Copies of this chain bind each other. A is one copy, B any other.
Amino acid sequence: MPVHSAQIRVHTEGDGDIIDITRGIEEVVETSGVEDGIVNVFVSHSTAAITLIEYETGGVQDLKELMDLLVPPNATYHHNEMQGDTNAHAHLQAAIVGPSETVPVKNGRVQTGTWQQFVLCDFDDHPRERSVMVQVLS
């Protein structure tokens, strides 16, 4: 069984930027020719995360605000004090949301719902170039 993999490059503004990467993932699955299997989507950065949401302006803003409410950027963190860093909240937000999602592929289509988009969340505190890995197994 061949494994099909690709990378999606994404420019983000950081600070909780949430970017719809669904179309890129669908293209990798289409190119793979896989009919039945799974697609694993993974971001290899400790201050970014992958999840699925309804990609709509209000909900996207809600998620960004919620993460900053639960894990405030301006609180005091050991990571910032010990490393002379400013993005401890980004590491924590990323650990809670998580760096990967795995979704079934059936009849050549990713089995996400109509109101369910793959998003890259960039919690880091400045713009970044990110690489998202997409692996299709069957």
Query: Which A positions have Cβ atoms within 8 angstroms of B?
Result: 1, 3, 5, 36-38, 40, 42, 44-46, 51-54, 56-59, 61-63, 65-66, 70-71, 77-83, 88, 91-92, 94-104, 106, 111-113, 115-116, 133, 135, 137-138
The interface residues of chain B lying within 8 Å CB-to-CB of A95 are: 51-53, 63, 97
Q: What residues of B have a CB within 8 angstroms of the CB of A112 in the complex?
A: 44
Q: Are B133 and A104 in contact (CB under 8 A)?
A: yes
Are B46 and A104 in contact, CB atoms less than 8 angstroms apart?
no
Residue on B nearest A112 in the bound complex, by CB = B44
Docked complex Cα distance between A54 and B5 (Å): 25
- New contact pairs (18) apart from A53-B91, A59-B91, A65-B78, CB-CB < 8 Å: A5-B104, A42-B102, A42-B103, A44-B112, A45-B116, A46-B115, A51-B98, A52-B98, A52-B99, A56-B79, A59-B78, A62-B92, A66-B71, A96-B96, A99-B103, A104-B133, A106-B133, A137-B137
